[in-house]
Amino acid sequence: MLASQQVRQNIRQGIFTQPTAGAAPGFVQANLVVLPKSLAADFMLFCQRNPKPCPLLSISDPGSTFFPGYGDDLDIRTDIPRYRVWRNGELIDEVSNVTTYWRDDLISFAIGCSFSFEEALVAEGLDVRHISCASNVPMYRSNISTQSAGPFHGPLVVSMRPFKPADAIRAIQLTSKFPSVHGAPVHIGDASQIGISDLSKPDFGEPVEVRAGELPVFWACGVTPQAVLMASKPEFCITHAPGYMLVTDKLNAHLAII
Amino acid sequence: MLASQQVRQNIRQGIFTQPTAGAAPGFVQANLVVLPKSLAADFMLFCQRNPKPCPLLSISDPGSTFFPGYGDDLDIRTDIPRYRVWRNGELIDEVSNVTTYWRDDLISFAIGCSFSFEEALVAEGLDVRHISCASNVPMYRSNISTQSAGPFHGPLVVSMRPFKPADAIRAIQLTSKFPSVHGAPVHIGDASQIGISDLSKPDFGEPVEVRAGELPVFWACGVTPQAVLMASKPEFCITHAPGYMLVTDKLNAHLAII
């Protein structure tokens, strides 16, 4: 049994209930968004227009509970430790499975997650600060607009990782190989240029220290689609809870384009 | 006849006497170093140990006047518009051909030049400042040491090009494809971290403006081997004069590794 299958089985049985960072190393973890078919076309368009924050790994058939090629036994309704259920933009429930909320008109989106490229950075010996500090990555609403589609619009949310300049160059090279999990950074250096006034006060996650001689490096972040989605107040929506991702059978290494 | 062959023929006939920037677009231009065989092994070792400033494109056989694969009619002695001849580290002559200086024990080195990757940056729509300002690229002695070999040692010389952050990220991606012409930058941002106190006072070339919101980006520079060579005062040496490069029949596009 693959490590990813084991993790999903443990999640399904209620044995694994924690955030999924570090679970099943080497396997792709994904952001989940589930929407009624009536909203899915606009959301698909939004993702297509904003591939850096919203890299689409897979889209389910309507009502289907799995992502073809991402795990034969994968069940979208039960295989994430913590889901969030939303109505009209309000969080109405946080649950360990969404079987009772399931509808035949739901379409699910698996969106790439930075865990995949962070694994490549760590493997290269780079100090990924929030990992070495065991905290959440700091994320910020930038002043960069996404391209809107239907009701979906809003600012690009970026994640920040500080590096020494030579490591920043290496991080740019490495993440360029992974366009389906946010790819290369969108900004480097002066945070105020993208509308961030105080790095010590992230909008999501926790702050990390930017040490003397380091440059903050900013990547498009998978929180963008969730923030945009909530702001548009869809009548119904299911997402993963932050940090509780969908563990798939796809290998991170297979996402590398070169 | 290839544009590169035409340029070399015009140089050989004394019709083309200017710097070679912009001549035969698309074709690789190279730095030239010619040394007696007695010094060539150490210099080869120096280049092998310092591939970013000294990317070896080709090494001639002793006494040979061409680089295999870089132009069938290419003659190392006549095909550069301006050569420099050195004895014991002193410049003794600047000439349009070195036929009278030629010796059977000379070994020639063709070393990659940033013209190749600059062409790729310009093709991508990036503003390469010293090109848009029609000046020479600014170059600086850094506090980064090269790896020594025999008598050859000294600091890494870097060239600097300023870019807006997003363009800097793109420039890192593009130049990473060209390891045989210096490849990815060695530094980005704070110049003082690599021992450069004043960007407006380059050690070679001319200063360029770093505009508000731009980051200086630093690449290992082909002036490094020449500076190192001159400091070691070899008994005899021929080089190209700065800006007067060897135009070859190799395509820049063929240097891209991906």
Question: Mind spelling out the 3-state secondary structure of A173-211?
Answer: HHHHCCHHHCCCCCEECCHHHHCCCCCCCCCECCCCCCC
Give residue-wise pLDDT tens across range A44-102.
Answer: 999 999 999 999 999 999 999 999 999 999 999 999 999 999 999 899 999 999 999 99
Q: Chains A and B: how many Cβ contacts under 8 Å?
A: 50
What is the pLDDT, as a whole number, of residue B174?
96
Beta strand extents in chain A (DSSP E only): 27-36, 56-59, 83-87, 90-95, 106-112, 139-145, 155-163, 187-188, 215-220, 237-240, 246-251
Chain A residues lying within 8 Å of B158, measured CB to CB: none
> What type of residue sits at position B154?
G
Written as one string, the DSSP assignment of A48-68 is HH-TTT--EEEEPPTT--S-T
Minimal CA separation from B112 to chain A, in Å? 21
A11 phi/psi in degrees, rounded to 5: -65, -45
Please give the CATH topology (third level) of the domain spanning B115-224.
PSTPO5379-like fold (3.30.2040)
* A211 exposure class (CB count in 10 Å sphere: 0-12, 13-18, 19+): exposed
What is the pLDDT, as a whole number, of residue B179?
94
What is the pLDDT, as a whole number, of residue B242?
87
> What type of residue sits at position B42?
D
Give residue-wise pLDDT tens across range A171-200.
Answer: 999 999 999 999 999 999 999 999 999 999
What is the pLDDT, as a whole number, of residue A258?
78
> What type of residue sits at position B106?
L
Q: Crossing angle for the helix pair A115-123 and A165-176, nearest 10 degrees?
A: 130
Residue B174 token pair: 């593009």
Point out the least confidently predicted range of A54-63, A225-234, B81-90, B247-256.
Answer: A225-234
**Cα separation values, B64 from B37, B76, B81, B102, B223, Å:** 12, 8, 19, 10, 24
3-state SS of B188-236 is ECCHHHHCCCCCCCCCECCCCCCCCCCEEEEEECCHHHHHHHHHCCCCC
What is the pLDDT, as a whole number, of residue B140?
97
Q: Is the dihedral of CA A58, A63, A68, A73 positive or negative?
A: positive
In angstroms, the CA B80 to CA B20 distance is 9
Which of A165, A172, A185 has its CB closest to that of B193? A165
Helix, strand, or coil (residue B140): strand
pLDDT above 90 (res B148): yes
In angstroms, the CA B171 to CA B163 distance is 8
In angstroms, the CA B204 to CA A153 distance is 49
* Region of residue B7 (phi > 0: left; psi between -120 and 50: alpha; otherwise: beta): alpha
For residue B217, give the nearest of B182, B192, B191, B198 by alpha carbon: B191
B190 Cβ under 8 Å from any chain A Cβ: yes
Helix, strand, or coil (residue B102): coil
Minimal CA separation from B256 to chain A, in Å? 13
pLDDT above 90 (res B258): no
pLDDT above 90 (res B226): no
Work out whether strand B237-240 and strand B83-87 pair parallel, antiparallel, or are unpaired: antiparallel
E strand or H helix that includes residue B49: helix B37-49
What is the pLDDT, as a whole number, of residue A228?
92
Radius of gyration of chain A (CA): 18
pLDDT above 90 (res B64): yes
CATH architecture group of domain A3-114+232-255: 3-Layer(aba) Sandwich (3.40)
**CATH number of the domain at A116-224, please?**
3.30.2040.10
B215 Cβ under 8 Å from any chain A Cβ: yes
B54 phi/psi in degrees, rounded to 5: -125, 60
Beta carbons within 8 Å of B15's beta carbon, 6+ residues apart: none
A166 Cβ under 8 Å from any chain B Cβ: yes
What is the pLDDT, as a whole number, of residue B122?
95
Beta carbons within 8 Å of B18's beta carbon, 6+ residues apart: B81
Minimal CA separation from B146 to chain A, in Å? 16
For residue B56, give the nearest of B152, B172, B156, B179 by alpha carbon: B179
Give residue-wise pLDDT tens across range B159-218.
Answer: 999 999 999 999 999 999 999 999 999 999 999 999 999 999 999 999 999 999 999 999
CB atoms within 10 A of CB B206: 12
**Cα separation values, A119 from A32, A159, B53, Å:** 20, 15, 31
Which class does domain B3-13+27-114+229-253 fall in? Answer: alpha beta
B3 Cβ under 8 Å from any chain A Cβ: no
> How many residues are recorded in chain A?
258
Residue with token string 């290992």 = B220
Q: Are B187 and B225 in contact (CB under 8 A)?
A: no
A172 Cβ under 8 Å from any chain B Cβ: yes
Cβ contact, residue pair A169, B184, below 8 Å: yes
Helix, strand, or coil (residue A42): helix
Cβ contact, residue pair B173, A176, below 8 Å: yes
Cβ contact, residue pair B165, A188, below 8 Å: yes
B212 Cβ under 8 Å from any chain A Cβ: no
Cβ contact, residue pair A165, B187, below 8 Å: yes
What is the pLDDT, as a whole number, of residue A231?
87
Minimal CA separation from A178 to chain B, in Å? 13
Residue with token string 């006549």 = B78
Which of A184, A185, A189 has its CB closest to that of B189? A189
Cβ contact, residue pair A190, B213, below 8 Å: yes
Q: Give the nearest chain A residue to B167 (CA atoms).
A: A187
Give residue-wise pLDDT tens across range A105-161.
Answer: 999 999 999 999 999 999 999 999 999 998 889 999 999 999 999 999 999 999 999
Which of A168, A173, A187 has its CB closest to that of B166? A187
What is the pLDDT, as a whole number, of residue B37?
95
> Fold match between A3-114+232-255 and A116-224?
no
Spans of all domains in chain B: 3-13+27-114+229-253, 115-224
What is the pLDDT, as a whole number, of residue A229?
87
B184 Cβ under 8 Å from any chain A Cβ: yes
E strand or H helix that includes residue B142: strand B139-145
In angstroms, the CA A61 to CA A66 distance is 8
